[in-house]
Amino acid sequence: MDVFGDLFRGVRAHGSLFGSSALSAPWALHFVDGAPLTLCTVLSGGGWIVPERGEPEPLRAYDTVVVRGPGTFTFVDEVGTRAEPVACGEFCAAPELGGTRHRRGWHDDGDGPTTLIVGAYPAGGEVSRPLLDALPVVLRVTGAGTGDAVLDHLAAEVGVDAPGQQVVLDRLLDWMLVCTLRAWFDRPGGEPPAWWTAQRDPVVGPVLRLLHDEPAAPWTVGALAGRAGVSRSTLAKRFAELVGEPPLTYLTRRRMALAADLLTERSTATVSEVARSVGYADAFGFSAAFKRIRGSTPSEFRKHRHGPPEKTAPQVLSDRQQGCIVEA
């Protein structure tokens, strides 16, 4: 699996169609969940995305904006709108403001000029951390790209009531997010993360794929160089230049991210079992490496993560697993 595909695997839309509401300008929809990632796109009409931090971004037909949490954001008809913000969480709008509270999966045909689609993504695991860290608070990709075909499918699906619609909408939003992030990383004059550019290198790319496909394998620099068809010194030099650290250092960090997610999950796996699953023969070597990278032992890390939970924004999202479609 390539690096991007692996980092993306924990990012999935779920419950993307929550409801729709017909609103008349002026409007201000305040999305309060603070999801790790939220994708906003419009099929027709337009408005503005106003993040809690950062500058407002226009959102026109077939444009897409991705907002990185935990900050909240507002979708407005215009910057400085006189509309009072309507909190969008479990419901997209209150009846007294022109909307209708709906159950999941409901779609209301509105006659407004703007159709906004929002997909919220729970992406709190350590495996996806490098992807989230590579994104600004708000990124915008204009239409007329590969995502337009996805939006055509979304527009068609929103207009029907068919079995399996929820699954189709979720997967289309996943597809849309992939297209949007690809376009962002490959934009002219952009500064993509090192792992994005390195995965296309003829030497480093295949090695990265091996490290992500088989992180528990007993890799050495020599073994990786042999699989890449180059010398040890060539691989070590090229990998460090493109990725920013030696191959085995990258592997260790990758293993510790996987282990952190395993320890965070409420499972009965012992530290020894987690150690073996990420390539360590014994718990002692694994614990030493984990503490060096994460700053605490695996047991301390697990105890801290499994303490009394706070209702943080990402946890609220995972409880609701939601998104919405709004017609304004």
Supply angle C-alpha 167, 65, 197, rounded to 5: 90
What's the domain range around 51?
7-189+318-327
| 281/322 same-domain check | no
pLDDT of residue 16: 52
| 61/172 same-domain check | yes
pLDDT of residue 308: 42
Does residue 172 surpass a pLDDT of 80?
Answer: yes
Confidence of residue 315 (pLDDT cuts 50, 70, 90): very low
| 65/173 same-domain check | yes
| 91/135 same-domain check | yes
Q: Which pTM does this prediction carry?
A: 0.80
Q: What are phi and psi of 273, to 5 degrees?
A: -70, -40
Per-residue pLDDT reduced to its tens digit, 51-76: 988 889 999 989 999 999 888 999 89
Question: d(Cα 125, Cα 153) in Å, to the nearest integer?
Answer: 30
Per-residue pLDDT reduced to its tens digit, 234-291: 999 999 999 999 999 999 999 999 999 999 866 778 999 999 999 999 999 999 999 9
The answer to whether residue 96 sits within a structural domain is: yes
pLDDT of residue 14: 59
| 20/147 same-domain check | yes
Beta strand residue intervals within 20-137, DSSP E: 28-31, 37-44, 46-51, 57-60, 64-68, 73-76, 86-88, 115-121
Name the nearest CA neighbour of 125 among 262, 229, 231, 302: 262
pLDDT of residue 254: 95
| 172/201 same-domain check | no
| 33/148 same-domain check | yes
The answer to whether residue 80 sits within a structural domain is: yes
The answer to whether residue 310 sits within a structural domain is: no
Q: What is the CATH number of the domain that holds 245?
A: 1.10.10.60
| Mean pLDDT for all residues in the chain | 81
| 96/156 same-domain check | yes
Q: What is the mean pLDDT of residues 175-193?
A: 92
Q: How many separate domains does the chain show?
A: 2
| 180/227 same-domain check | no
